[in-house]
Structure 1
Amino acid sequence: MRKATPNVTTKVRRSLEASEGRHGVAGQLEPMHTCTSAGDSRVSITWSDGHLSSYGTAWLREHDNSPSALHERSHGSRPAPLCAWDAIPKVDAREYMEDDGALYKTLRKVNRVGVVLLENAGVEEGTVLDLARRVAPVSHHTLYGDMFDVVSQANPRNMAYTNERLRMHMDLVYYESAPGLQLLHCLEFDEGGKGGQTSFLDAFAAADHFREKFPEKFEVLSRVPTTFEKIRAAAPRVDGEGRK
């Protein structure tokens, strides 16, 4: 299993940004004259090349990428409940890589449901990095690198590198800024083997359930800061002659 974590936080440039009382757009065009219709339902702009554009105010509000509007929309966006009987959304990996529309639909599904299955990704090593970088540069590589293998080892330092069943968990939550998106790529699975199933839990539903059952404890957990620490086994000491 290969893992990669892209940084999904990207900057969005506003199409219209205020500057010294005027409005500028990307490129050489500048608005020369603006006016609103009766009832302020539309905004008309005459550009420096003579072109006239007309925008509905509702459309402008919907596509407002100012920091305040983005903040308001992010708080109003809530993932749909993930039910056991719901089918996990599936997207063809080749379309995801080649078609911006497919990429957009994939990210919309991730935002709404929380998980997406990319099919037909192949078994070539490094593919998971290409899939991740299709979204954004890979981040959170300090401890494990851009990509790391999850395989059963003879002398594991972590339970993840055994054939034992892993309980529900989230990776890298001890980071100050935990990753927002993680990709897993199965490269090999022995048909004669057992297990290997991947389970998903709706953490939002779990939090809502906890808040309803234990409101006081939920309030404490949501208000009191806590500290997490990743403790790793020390590397073996080696003397000047290379002996352990």
Structure 2
Amino acid sequence: MKFSIVSACASAGEKLVEVTWNDQHKSRFHTKWLRFYCRCKKCQPELKGTYLVDIPAFPDVLTVAKVDVEEKGGTINVKINGELIAGHVIQYGAQWLRQHCYCDACLDNLIDKRDVISKNGVSVGDMTLPEVEYQNLLDDPDRNVFDFCEKMVLHGFCLVKNVPCENNKSLEVLRMLGPIRETCYGTRFDVNFSGKKHGNNNEVLLPFHMDQCSYEQPPGVVFLHCLKFDEIIRGGKSRLTDFFLVAETLRKESPEDFETLTEVPGSWDTYNYNTEHPAHQEHQKCHIVTDYFGKVSTST
């Protein structure tokens, strides 16, 4: 829909600009927000991360001096009291301004559009296993790496099929996604039955868990390259669970326990002295983290 401005006026003691749109929606923009997001060439730098406007130099209170709607509702011009640039007029196109409306209704709609977690929480029986072919990633990375990433975002995991049974082939795939983060176990960690005293290097079944929780920010993507060297080998099955679905189920069935896990931190540690990368790590954080809107954002 093409938006246009029907009317605009100052309100709330000249500290807000109230806009009425052609679909009857109403937006309210703070004067400071309008001033410091101004799209004109005097305010918008060519290089991102640089500033042409000295924001701290402005008065604490900015008020509206004049509001005009031009080009048949396609543009809004605002002059303010407290402006530091002589003759400056704040100018916005209607489409950009409407797309950045931050009223409760527009924010709720934006959050709903971006909420891939709640919308894709389905039972295993109803879900087609997300997968991509290793060779397709190599042959057409522009298309298939995007498909790989999309499935990771939508489902939380993706199976890469027919990866060659050779060391470091997993790193080859990971480098398509971005830089590889090294941990105290190095760039790659081999899980095998070696007799070493480590929870992964034996035949004992591990419970559901997350890796590297002792880091302040655990790795966002963990790649498991499962190698089977002989048909006689049995076991090695991997199980996955959707923690976001688990968290939402807990919130519904036991809200007090859910709240406890969002407020009381747990402790994680890694003591790893006898390796190539000695480490002593201790970290505290809550098991479940919610954002400003109450959505589960991260978990450990």
Q: TM-score, normalised on structure 2?
A: 0.54
Partner of 2:141: 99
What is the alpha-carbon distance in structure 2 between the residues aligned to residue 74 and residue 212 of structure 1? 19
Unaligned runs of 5+ in 1: 1-16, 27-35, 42-54, 63-68, 237-244
Does 2:163 correspond to 1:121? yes
How far off is 1:201 after superposition?
A: 0.5
Q: Indicate whether 1:214 and 2:254 are aligned.
A: yes
Question: 1:210 and 1:178, CA in 2 relative to 1: closer, same or farther beyond 3 A?
Answer: same
Q: How far off its partner does 1:101 sit?
A: 1.4
1:88/1:115 contact within 8 Å kept: no
Alpha-carbon spacing, 1:165–1:226, altered in 2? closer, same or farther (3 Å)? closer
Counterpart in the other structure of 1:192: 232
1:18–1:24 CA contact under 8 A, matched in 2: no
Letter in 2 for 1:87: T
Offset at 1:40?
Answer: 3.5
Which consecutive unaligned segments of at least 5 residues does structure 2 have?
A: 1-38, 49-69, 76-92, 101-106, 276-300
RMSD over aligned Cα, in angstroms?
Answer: 3.5
User: Could you tell me which residue of structure 2 aligns to residue 144 of structure 1?
Assistant: 185
Q: Distance in 1 between matches of 2:257 and 2:199?
A: 30
Structure showing the higher strand proportion among its residues: 2
- Other-structure match for 2:214: 174
Map 1:1-244 → 2, pairs under 5 A: 20-22=42-44, 24=46, 38-40=72-74, 57=95, 61=99, 76-79=114-117, 80-85=120-125, 86-97=127-138, 98-139=140-181, 141-153=182-194, 155-232=195-272, 234-235=273-274
Tell me which amino acid in the other structure corresponds to 1:95.
N
CA contact (8 A) 1:82 1:113 kept: no
Q: 3-state DSSP class of the match of 2:224?
A: strand
The aligned amino acid for 2:231 is E
1:104 Cα deviation after fit: 0.9
Structure-2 residue corresponding to 1:33: none
1:186 offset after TM fit, Å? 1.8
Distance in 1 separating the partners of 2:40 and 2:164: 47
Range 111-120 or range 94-103, more displaced: 94-103
**Cα distance 1:19–1:166, how it changes in 2: closer, same or farther (>3 A)?**
farther
Query: What is the SS of the residue equivalent to 1:230?
Result: strand
Distance 1:22 1:168 in 2: 49
User: What letter matches 1:194 in structure 2?
Assistant: R
Equivalent residues, number: 189
* AA of the residue aligned to 1:78: V
CA apart distance, 1:174: 1.9
User: Does structure 2 retain, via aligned residues, the 8 Å contact 1:91–1:118?
Assistant: yes
Residue by residue over 1:85-130, the C-alpha shift from the partner in whole angstroms, topping out at 9 and shown as x without a partner, is: 1221111112223421111111111101111111122112111111
Highest RCO, 1 vs 2 (Cα 8 Å, sep ≥ 6): 1
Q: Is the 8 A contact 2:73 2:94 kept in 1?
A: no
